[in-house]
Amino acid sequence: MKKVDILGVGVSITDYEKCVQTIIQYAKERKSLSVTAQPVHGFMEAHLHPSFKKTLNNFDIVTPDGMPVKIAANILGKAKLKDRVYGPSLMLKTCKEAEKNKMKIYLYGSTPEVLEKLEKSLNSKFPKLIIAGKNASKFGDLTEEENEQDLDKIKKSKTKIVFVGLGCPKQEKWVYKNSKNLKMPLIAVGAAFDFISGNKKQAPSWMQKISLEWLFRLIQEPRRLWKRYLVYNPLFILLLSLQFIGLKKFR
């Protein structure tokens, strides 16, 4: 899948249809595939931490999750994308196709309470979807033994697709580390678990369309998200402008 360089991170030129088709095809063929949906926050983490940039650049698919990222892809790569590929929507669209193809899915991350709500929400939307298993986060660095135990559970479940909701950058690091050991798509979907489960409120569609989702989330969680939106967003625009006019290269 073709990529465009945004602040040194290769972003896939893709839409929902193409991305979901790729995921389903790899699941059918039992092949490893690493996928992540990246908003502005992910790009700033990559800019500030070169090791995380390397991690992202080893992903097979990095979708333009945020509207600013989609716009950047269109400007820098002439991608002509009509919409972003948003983590929660990507998860729901993939689940819909998994249900049609009778593919099992696995939920990895978050808390037991959120996973229970998420399972109920997915079952209500996709009654025939098979959730092969779910594994809550331990909220700390896993030992090699713990990681192997988790991988063993996933393998024994005979799932075809794993959704990972550990938060950025932890989820991307987990997918990068384990992708080659699991012959299936691993999809890092950010806050999708919280939104789809109803654990957190999602911005209204009209706010998402005009790129004001960040404001809605900031109002909901000011202490946790102030730096992400009030510092990282302006810095992203500044760095992107420097890349566009050729004053700075990030590759």
Residue whose tokens read 């550990």: 166
Residue 201 has pLDDT above 90, yes or no: no
Question: Pick from 148, 183, 141, 132: which is nearest to 166 by CA?
Answer: 141
The Cα 194–Cα 198 span in angstroms is 6
The Cα 234–Cα 246 span in angstroms is 19
Average pLDDT over residues 168-190: 95
Q: Looking at the whole model, is its pTM more than 0.95?
A: no
pLDDT band at 213 (very low <50, low <70, confident <90, very high): confident
For 87, list phi and psi in degrees, rounded to 5: -50, -55
Lowest-confidence pick of 152-156, 179-183, 217-221:
217-221
Lowest-confidence pick of 5-9, 33-37, 203-207, 239-243:
203-207
pLDDT band at 118 (very low <50, low <70, confident <90, very high): very high
Average pLDDT over residues 230-248: 90
The Cα 37–Cα 213 span in angstroms is 16
Q: Which domains does the chain have, with CATH numbers?
A: 3-193+200-207 (3.40.50)
Lowest-confidence pick of 8-22, 156-170, 196-210:
196-210
Residue 69 has pLDDT above 90, yes or no: yes
Average pLDDT over residues 36-42: 95
